[in-house]
Structure 1
């Protein structure tokens, strides 16, 4: 399944590989540059006409004329069970801003972007606000009916088609080339000025993106809190984990810097990485899973291309796009939070959210051992030469006396009572009662 262009042939853009009910489909992004449809002439922006306010993590409020648009509102509670918590303290009026938004874009179903605790507040105050998601094969709101969150104006829109909001404002959702079934990104255009938000996409729009946008935003930190921290045995020593994480961080930093350099945005802002494994039981994860810093990425971009203006946002900070485009050195183009503003969270009210999570863990299904086989059979992953042992532990990763301890052989999807053969690829996963693997 390697993609190869014969020497001296015309170059075909790489096709997107999609699995659909067991069959393989190769999809061509067509047209590859859909944002070129119906081009608009850029008009001058007045001061204050287009502003971008950073709230927290991946949540930005974008004022575009008389419309306010919010991206990925995670403003309260945890993500990934108890695994992630907000690093930055959102502005005191963040939930008010959310409930007064004219439209909301949610990029994908991961809970640091699709936050049900946050959407619960929205559903109580403004349930009919227009929410836009891409037409992914895995619906973003697949859990909505069972969540208790009542939202009445969810719009699933096709990829690569302009959605007109008013005379000057439109947006377009694009799919990820690596995870087209789930991840999306967005281009927002106002009076011909483009804002590109690639969010968590690994290869946004298959790598085909607009150049010279006015503002580009992307993730920067890296995510998964489970692998390789919760793996043990064999090669998974502390030194191996440290080297692996360091190498992955470096690769991601260089990739993001090269992507920004190749696209030449006028302004670049790293976001969607301001989270922390704050719960005391995840201290080992937090200390081991070291993240990239936004400041380091911006420094690397500036070193490679000083013509690109970079912005490291703080909660409540505001970028005035019109002023920034006129003069990138204008200090008035960015308004920082007032002195004394709390930037980092120092409490998370764990019990409020974890009581509900812990109640779910003790549901009837988890009391029966056959739920394990039911789950793996339902997932259907097999014909892969790997044996995994899963050990249920306490918060310090010590095995529970009466906890689950089982093997899964993915070659034939069997559940042996002992490890089958020392020559087989083998991994151990220790998981606490509330699993924090991303």
Structure 2
């Protein structure tokens, strides 16, 4: 559909993090609703205070898009509210090899649509959308193009190389992530070169590279308007103060300033919670500041309370689960997972919040060459990793069959490697244990 710049009712409202509401005539389309609770176990918390009516807006939506399974996009605390109030809202996800809704036992949603990539989904005569895969992580990440009455919106979300670089140019509105810092590396790594100064220099360089990549991508696509989002999180728990201070993130203002330098004709928008962009008005008259309605000066922008204890206590209840009273749980878990024939020995230590050994925690070795559990490291030459996991999160992940991303991306562990090399096969095993466990429970 070629853009007609017609006077259409197309309002874009930013709620928080990656959650945007599109008002398309009489329809409301919601993206990635993380509106309450933490993400990645207890590691990420919302930076922005969502509007007071955000959950009501979610339950009033006509359709919802969830880009991928990570919990800052697939938020079970948020979806639990939706499942209790309006479980039949149509929810659309891409047909990734790692299913987005891999833990449906947590919520009862009855209208989930898994759609193929690169195919238009026609909602009515005026509205259609297409979900596209990520060229780097096609098994998990997706992005979306929405067309409404000649207007086009491109939301690349967290994709590293959205649709392998094959994207439409001159869209009316483009949105993407910007912040960086969504990884346990290098913040959770210890020993060797991983001094605070090394981490600071690495993070500085990585954030600069990300800013340049995003700015050049936007310049190449030439959207009329660009909006950075999907990076407004904070490591709010007091026990993660070191991560919060070390894991410096890009600001949306810095990215927009770089885009304005590279491509001054592109209009940029730094969103605030509850801010509304009238896309039709903005396109008709780019100089008209009335196209953006910001929240009032009295509106609370940043969160200062997160119900930390409520969610951390829920995780910690797993510590005393019956299965963990038997030492054999470790052998059962790893034997069931089945990863072996790899010359790696891992020491797993369950800890308190300060990463000191927990009085009731386990401390054990796993030899992944033959999947045994020795009492000391074998004599042969082997790669070695020591991982300290916060006990409540580790046991909750095992009990619920969750992604190990909750431990790694959520900054809930500390890691030492000897030698200091990346083990792709082991990391792939960590990511895939959850889906196997869920299948074994069904």
Same fold (TM over 0.5): yes
Give unmatched runs, 5+ long, in structure 1. Answer: 1-39
TM-superposed CA distance for 1:414, in Å, is 4.5
> Does the aligned pair in 1 maintain the 2:127–2:149 contact within 8 Å?
yes
Partner of 2:210: 252
Once the two structures are overlaid, the 10-residue window that deviates more, 305-314 or 254-263, is 254-263
> Would the alpha carbon gap of residues 156 and 46 (structure 1) be closer, same or farther in structure 2, given more than 3 Å must change?
same
Question: What SS does the corresponding residue of 2:205 show, helix, strand or coil?
Answer: helix
Give the counterpart of 2:154 among 196, 212, 220.
196
Q: Does residue 404 of structure 1 match 2:372?
A: no
Secondary structure of 2:260 counterpart: helix
Q: Is the 8 A contact 2:3 2:152 kept in 1?
A: no
Instruction: Decide whether aligned partners of structure 1 residues 189 and 238 sit closer, same or farther in structure 2, where only a CA change above 3 A counts.
Output: same
- After the TM superposition, which of the residue ranges 219-228 and 77-86 deviates more from structure 2? 219-228
Structure 1 residue corresponding to 2:274, chosen from 279, 292, 316: 316
* 2:207 equivalent to 1:207: no
What is the CA distance between 1:241 and its match in structure 2? Answer: 2.2
SS at match of 2:349: strand
Please give the residue correspondences for 1:258-407 in structure 2 after superposition, counting only pairs within 5 Å. Answer: 258-382=216-340, 386-407=344-365
1:53 corresponds to = 13
Instruction: Report deviation, 1:427.
Output: 3.7
Q: Distance in 2 between matches of 1:243 and 1:386?
A: 30
Alignment CA distance shift 1:370-1:221 (3 Å): farther
Matched residue of 1:339: which SS? coil
For the Cα contact (< 8 Å) 1:232–1:429, is it kept in 2?
no
Q: Distance in 1 between matches of 2:258 and 2:392?
A: 37
The normalised TM-score by structure 2 is: 0.84
Unaligned runs of at least 5 residues, structure 2: 394-406, 410-442
- SS of the residue corresponding to residue 206 of structure 2 reads helix
> In the aligned structure 1, how far is the partner of 2:249 from the partner of 2:350?
26
- Mapping of residues 102-251 of structure 1, within 5 Å: 102-144=62-104, 146-147=105-106, 149-251=107-209
Q: Which residue of 1 aligns with 2:422?
A: none
Question: How far 1:387 moved relative to its partner?
Answer: 4.2
The equivalent of 1:44 in structure 2 is 5
Deviates more, 1:273-282 or 1:238-247: 238-247
Per-residue CA deviation, residues 235-272 of structure 1 (Å, 9 max, x unaligned), is: 32222222222222222222211211111111111111
2:50 counterpart SS class: coil
Q: Offset of 1:397 from its aligned partner?
A: 1.9
1:406–1:261 distance in 2 versus 1, CA, 3 Å: farther
Match of 1:66 among 1, 15, 26: 26
User: How many residues in Structure 1 have an aligned counterpart in Structure 2?
Assistant: 396
Q: Is the 8 A contact 2:65 2:93 kept in 1?
A: yes
249-258 vs 335-344, greater mean Cα deviation: 249-258
Which residue number in structure 2 is paired with residue 90 of structure 1? 50
SS of the residue corresponding to residue 232 of structure 1 reads: coil
Query: Measured at CA, do residues 411 and 224 of structure 1 come closer, stay the same or move farther in structure 2, by a change above 3 Å?
Result: farther
Q: Please identify, of 266-275 and 405-414, the stretch whose mean Cα deviation from structure 2 is larger.
A: 405-414
Superposition map of 1:22-37 within 5 A = none
CA distance in 2, matches of 1:413, 1:235: 30
Q: Over residues 351-380 of structure 1, what are the superposed CA-to-partner deviations in whole Å (9 max), with x where a residue is unaligned?
A: 222222222343223333333344344445
Q: Secondary structure at the match of 2:227?
A: strand
User: Is 1:101 aligned to 2:101, yes or no?
Assistant: no
Change beyond 3 A, Cα 1:406–1:250: farther
* 1:12 counterpart residue number: none
CA contact (8 A) 1:232 1:427 kept: no
Match of 2:37 among 59, 64, 77: 77
Equivalent position SS for 1:260: helix
SS across alignment from 2:408: coil
Question: Of the candidates 364, 388, 404, which is equivalent to residue 430 of structure 1?
Answer: 388
SS for the counterpart of 1:299 is helix
Instruction: Quote the offset at 1:110 in angstroms.
Output: 0.8
Instruction: Name the CA shift for 1:129/1:233 in 2 (closer, same or farther; >3 Å).
Output: same
Compare 152-161 and 346-355 and name the one that shifted more: 346-355
Moved more, 327-336 or 421-430: 421-430
> Which runs of structure 1 show a deviation greater than 6 angstroms over 4 or more consecutive aligned residues?
none
- Change beyond 3 A, Cα 1:243–1:210: same
CA RMSD of aligned residues (A): 2.1
Provide the TM-score with structure 1 as the length reference.
0.85
Residues 180 and 378 from structure 1, CA distance in 2 versus in 1: closer, same or farther, beyond 3 angstroms?
A: farther
